Amino acid sequence: RKEVEQDPGPFNVPEGATVAFNCTYSNSASQSFFWYRQDCRKEPKLLMSVYSSGNEDGRFTAQLNRASQYISLLIRDSKLSDSATYLCVVSGGSQGNLIFGKGTKLSVKP
Amino acid sequence: DTEVTQTPKHLVMGMTNKKSLKCEQHMGHRAMYWYKQKAKKPPELMFVYSYEKLSINESVPSRFSPECPNSSLLNLHLHALQPEDSALYLCASSQILAGEGNTQYFGPGTRLTVL
């Protein structure tokens, strides 16, 4: 089983749609969880950290289920500017290194 | 301010050249990282520094040599690279290496082409 698995997509959705991304991780000792967004030929930018209690930032909602080792990201009312690759990222172990999923590509169309 | 800066933005070098990539942050972060990213792939960790000491070397070839002169600076010295080393090289930093506060912030990267 891969350490962090994501559906690679692409997800092609119309503006205004709601889209959900899922991610699973294999290391039950993982401590921190993140969603990063990466535009073409740019660096990853932190979108949000993910907590067991769930967290919301505007149109974006992230959820963590530790029992199922599952992370989700929900984007409501998609905008053209949301088009990017979304990376599920897990940190674990004493070295704190990040484990990246392969990313899910989102394309929002007019 | 969550800014990490990297220079140069672009670098083209021959296989016999020696060059250096530079990374700087002024957020007081004590952990700094080098990643390599090929097209359509996620970033791959190369090196980790914690409190200016090398913490992780992910079996990177010796033609890549990291250096952490102080808590704000991180260099990556390049020598005798191969064309397959062409990639985007990303620097990142975090408050600490593990636990709460280990959110990593990335610089814009150096796009390296080896001829």
pLDDT, residue A96, reads 65
- Each residue of A32-46: pLDDT tens digit? 899 999 999 999 999
User: Does the beta-carbon distance from A43 to B97 stay under 8 Å?
Assistant: no
Mean pLDDT of B27-54: 94
Q: Which of B95, B100, B102 to probe the A interface (max A CBs under 10 A)?
A: B102
pLDDT category of residue B98 using cuts at 50, 70 and 90: confident
| CA of A49 vs chain B CAs: smallest distance (Å) | 8
B112 vs B115: CA distance, rounded Å: 10
Q: What is the mean pLDDT of residues B65-75?
A: 96
Task: Note whether A44 contacts B90, CB cutoff 8 Å.
Answer: yes
* pLDDT for position A65: 94
φ, ψ of residue B95 to 5 degrees: the values are -55, -50
Query: Which 8-state DSSP code applies to residue B58?
Result: -
pLDDT class of B65 with cuts at 50, 70, 90: very high
Q: B110 with B54: CB under 8 angstroms? A: no
**Which residues on chain B are in Cβ contact (under 8 Å) with A31?**
98-99
